[in-house]
Structure 1
Amino acid sequence: MASRELVVLGTAGQTPTRTRNHNGYLLRWDGTCVLFDPGEGVQRQMVLAGVASPRVERICVTHRHNDHCMGVPGVLNRMALDVPGRSVVLTGPQDAFEHLRLLAVVAAAGVEVTVEGVPERDERVEVADVAGSRLSARRLDHRVPAIGYRLEEPPGRTFRADALAAAGIAGPDVGRLQREGELRGVRLEDVSDPRPGQVFAFVMDTRDHPAVVDLLSGADLAVLECTYADRDAELARTHFHLTARQAGLAAARAGVRTLALAHFSQRYPDAEELGEEARAAVAELGAATRVHVAADLDVVPVPPRRQGGR
């Protein structure tokens, strides 16, 4: 299996700092890449991270605030430089369609850009197939229409080598059994175990809302904003953002395995303070969610596939 991992290109909320670039999160997933919320300066961050732009086949934007999409023109120009004539899909909420279309026009790059608007609904909306996995989106609660994304691999099965050997099945017959479900009296379930598909979730600017837990449900890796500390909860409510405590509680309730916190306000020079608040919230619910405080240029692997039920 090709590697599945998140490359963090920027973690600043609204305003970049000396150590945090504007937003930018690249997901490597089975030979393709999806770029989420590229803010200003992401093209340079991609160079620093060693990210190859030709691998990016889709750019997903959560909403039209510029710290989440102003990097689009630069990324498109980088793509045109690396592989002239290539194509890319630019996705965002329906509300942001014209904004994204104009960003592509401004780029004036030699890239074929297809802009897609996703309806902002209170249930998951199918967006696309990404390397055999289902990309969906759902409306969040922000000052402008915003959506969060969920990438979900279909469930599969893991073969047991000892069971295959005992049944005398090897080589091409293994694939045939997988396709047909039965071979020479041996059923697929006799020699394999169910394997849940991996799930990645991406949720940026939003207030606390049921959609957050829904999008994060059972995620192996989730990126979640935590703009404010709990002591600034009123600011979070007023500006339609999450606190670190709210992020930790949401991830714990959703059964997230690894939570990557991002989108930090400049008022917190050390984001580890937010990480500690999120970890305390996870512990409060007795959950096993691992909390990672994302930093620019971090690489966060998607946890290995789980065997059996969740």
Structure 2
Amino acid sequence: MGLVSLRELVVLGTSSAVPTRNRNHNGYLLLWDGQGFLFDPGEGTQRQMVHAGVSSHDITWICVTHFHGDHCLGVPGVVQRIARDGVTHRVQAAFPASGETYWRRLRHATVFADTSVIVERPVSGELARFDAGPVTLTARPLSHPVESYGYRLDEPDGRRMLPERLRERGIQGPRVGELQRAGAVAAPDGTTVHLAEVSEPRPGQSAAFVMDTRLCDGVFALAEGVDLLMIESTFLSEESALAAEYGHLTAAQAGRVAAESGVRRLVLTHISERYGTDDEPRFLAEAGAAFGGDVVLARDLSRVRVPRRDRHVQRAAKYPTP
């Protein structure tokens, strides 16, 4: 398995329908406390993983938003690499149920020594939730010419211990762990110390992955209050009519989503091949005009950390979360 206690996005590819000299087809590996969520592995993902220093053993989930080629043509190589490398842990695969025929074609695209570790999790309806170890994985429908789903990860809320209050009550060493497990513990003076007296709420971290879509309720529900939002920004605003026609977002719309949803770090990706490196500042400017927070324009093989929560950051509750 990969690095433990690491919450980081490994960007494998950032182009849209056509790869360019600087941008490979889509591919995003979100490492989260020993789990690895591989989103939309496009063509070339297997090789990009080698360049990024990650392996098939880091993957525990494969999440496909929809079955346009730039979001899934890397599935055969990834699956066959999982088999070839002898991955023994379970790898769950989420994808739109309506595209199951395409999934099976990709999953069994060529002759190879197959693996039994891949467990299929077809997604349908307005909301799907999965237990994904340290997080809950949620899928919601988006608005695209073919059925498409976005994904969200939520860590359960917890509590943060307050050292000064622990010292005041004489709680230290093994008693701290006992207090966390049991919710109460006897203090040296014989009184009972309850967890709420020496701790405070700690909101769980969250991340969302929003690919090909127009603005819709699903976009905002997925993005609401997340620490890290990975979102397509295929076009600049001058092509907003084209974006709407083909079911995509502009950088300005991505910034609006982040601003209205209370996002902490915005990652722009899925850049149309019509734009070159000289256009990149325009994406940042358009998104930044709407969103005053941290904006990152994703580049192939870059890494983006999930911002840590602190006691002043509370999860918004406009939309229901797991």
| TM-score of Structure 1 vs Structure 2, range by shorter chain | over 0.9
For 2:170 and 2:87, locate their aligned partners in 1 and report how far apart those are by CA, in whole Å: 51
Any idea what SS the aligned residue of 1:111 has?
coil
1:177-192 aligned within 5 A: 177-184=179-186, 185-192=192-199
| Unmatched 5+ stretches in structure 2 | 187-191, 315-322
Any idea what SS the aligned residue of 2:263 has?
coil
Decide whether the 8 Å contact of 1:255 with 1:289 is kept in 2: no
Decide whether the 8 Å contact of 2:8 with 2:305 is kept in 1: yes
For 1:82 and 1:170, locate their aligned partners in 2 and report how far apart those are by CA, in whole Å: 45
Q: How many angstroms does 1:309 deviate by?
A: 4.8
Q: How many angstroms does 1:114 deviate by?
A: 2.0
Task: Decide which of 280, 286, 308 is 1:304's aligned counterpart.
Answer: 308
Q: Residues 4, 68 of structure 1: CA spacing in aligned structure 2 closer, same or farther, 3 A cutoff?
A: same
Q: Residues 186, 97 of structure 1: CA spacing in aligned structure 2 closer, same or farther, 3 A cutoff?
A: same
Decide whether the 8 Å contact of 1:62 with 1:148 is kept in 2: yes
Q: Deviations over 1:194-227 (max 9, x none)?
A: 1100001000000011211110011000100000
Q: Residue in 1 aligned with 2:9?
A: 6
For 1:156 and 1:15, locate their aligned partners in 2 and report how far apart those are by CA, in whole Å: 43
Task: Decide which of 217, 238, 245 is 2:224's aligned counterpart.
Answer: 217
Percent identity, aligned pairs only, is 47
Does residue 44 in structure 1 map to residue 47 in structure 2?
yes
Q: Which moved further from structure 2: 65-74 or 172-181?
A: 172-181
2:294 counterpart letter in structure 1? R
Task: Decide which of 230, 247, 253 is 1:240's aligned counterpart.
Answer: 247
For 1:209 and 1:43, locate their aligned partners in 2 and report how far apart those are by CA, in whole Å: 32
Any idea what SS the aligned residue of 2:289 has?
helix
Decide whether the 8 Å contact of 1:94 with 1:120 is kept in 2: no
Q: Residue in 2 aligned with 1:100?
A: 103
Q: Which runs of 4+ in 1 moved over 6 A?
A: none
What is the number of equivalent residue pairs in this alignment? 302
TM-score, normalization: structure 1?
0.94
Q: Residues 86, 132 of structure 1: CA spacing in aligned structure 2 closer, same or farther, 3 A cutoff?
A: closer
1:234 counterpart letter in structure 2? A
Any idea what SS the aligned residue of 1:202 has?
strand
Q: Residue in 2 aligned with 1:140?
A: 142
Does residue 201 in structure 1 map to residue 205 in structure 2?
no
Q: Residue in 2 aligned with 1:263?
A: 270
Q: Deviations over 1:83-115 (max 9, x none)?
A: 255542221111122211221112544322222
Does residue 276 in structure 1 map to residue 278 in structure 2?
no
For 1:309 and 1:294, locate their aligned partners in 2 and report how far apart those are by CA, in whole Å: 25
Q: Residue in 1 aligned with 2:260?
A: 253
Provide the alpha-carbon RMSD of the alignment.
1.4
2:69 counterpart letter in structure 1? N
For 1:235 and 1:274, locate their aligned partners in 2 and report how far apart those are by CA, in whole Å: 16
1:253 counterpart letter in structure 2? E
Q: How many angstroms does 1:308 deviate by?
A: 4.7
Q: Residue in 1 aligned with 2:29?
A: 26
Q: Residues 205, 162 of structure 1: CA spacing in aligned structure 2 closer, same or farther, 3 A cutoff?
A: same
Q: Residues 153, 86 of structure 1: CA spacing in aligned structure 2 closer, same or farther, 3 A cutoff?
A: closer
